[in-house]
Amino acid sequence: MASNHADNLTPRALTNVARLGMGQDHLITISHLQRLCGFTLTPLHTGQSPPTSLPFTLNIPSKTDLWSKPPSTHSANQPTFYHSLPLAKFAGAKVVVKFEPNVLYDQAGIAVLFPKRDSGSSVEGSRRWIKAGAEYEPTLGGLKKSVVVTRDWSDWSVADFRLQSPGGGGGIGVQRVEVSVERIKANEGGWGPSLLVKVNEEVIREVTWAYAQEEDGIEEVWVGVYGARPTEAEGDLKIEVEAFSVEVLE
């Protein structure tokens, strides 16, 4: 449930101007708080109402996932709250979440969805998306920094995750995950812009096709906080969303 302390958050704290090392491109940080900023988060694959303050809790039932694998698996029912904006204006985003993963493939972080690529206007059929954050995989050593990049089929990258507060009884405890995606401006050699993905300040992936727009040059992107629990389990996975912001080019 969303907490009821929006009055404790000031507009000034939510609209700071930032720079991401992108030359003279100016960026404006915008918060996802409807009451203060005049726009809403859109729910996807969740019955929860859009939050009006931070932090808020995102409830993740089991048998939810965002994943594509040959020959025929295309899962896209992950609970998400997202903000839609023109791809050409998208400069970056940041999500900070806390959760206690204890079931195989429990995961949380940021999702970047391209709803119109290859699939008309329905994100459920989209074959291009990016998700990043942390995912629980005991056979790989436990919780991992995780990035999945999908163009038709998913390509998974992982890195070691340093636990901040190991739990008792064999569990890993509640972990804080900071995820960011950042537009890298085009450089010499004719390269276009790409999207740099970081988890807990470590670069995990550069996505070179993120800004390759459709022929008409008009495309939207959905940027949000998500969670998934692909494995059958009792109860929901609880994800506390501490921070959520998007940066746009002027």
Q: Which pLDDT tens digit goes with each residue over 188-234?
A: 666 788 999 999 999 999 999 999 875 556 788 999 999 999 999 99
CB 100 within 8 A of CB 227: no
Interatomic CA distance for residues 60 and 106, integer angstroms: 9
Q: Is 14 exposed, middle or buried (0-12, 13-18, 19+ CB in 10 A)?
A: middle
pLDDT of residue 235 exceeding 90, the answer is yes
In CATH terms, is domain 6-249 a member of 2.60.120.200? yes
Q: Which of 83-87, 159-163, 164-168, 229-233 has the lowest mean pLDDT?
A: 164-168
Model pTM score = 0.83
Between 152 and 137, residue with greater pLDDT: 137
> What amino acid is encoded at 225 in this protein?
V
pLDDT for the residue numbered 216 = 58
CB 69 within 8 A of CB 142: no
Residue 36 dihedral angles phi and psi, to the nearest 5°: -95, -30
Q: Which pLDDT tens digit goes with each residue over 10-47?
A: 222 223 223 223 333 444 455 444 333 435 789 999 99
pLDDT for the residue numbered 102 = 93
Q: How many CB atoms lie within 10 A of CB 191?
A: 11
- Residue spans per domain, the chain: 6-249
Q: What's the token pair of residue 183? A: 């537009």
Instruction: Compute, in degrees rounded to 10, the torsion defined by CA atoms 79, 84, 86, 87.
Output: -20
pLDDT for the residue numbered 26 = 43
- Single out the residue of 132, 245, 128, 112 nearest to residue 197, CA to CA: 132
pLDDT of residue 153 exceeding 50, the answer is yes
Q: What residues pair up with 46 in beta bridges, in sequence order?
A: none
Interatomic CA distance for residues 48 and 62, integer angstroms: 16
Q: Which residue has the tokens 């002027």?
A: 250
Q: What three-state secondary structure class fits 140? A: helix
Q: Which pLDDT tens digit goes with each residue over 35-93?
A: 334 357 899 999 999 998 899 999 999 999 999 999 989 899 999 999 999 998 899 99
CB 119 within 8 A of CB 136: no
pLDDT of residue 174 exceeding 80, the answer is yes
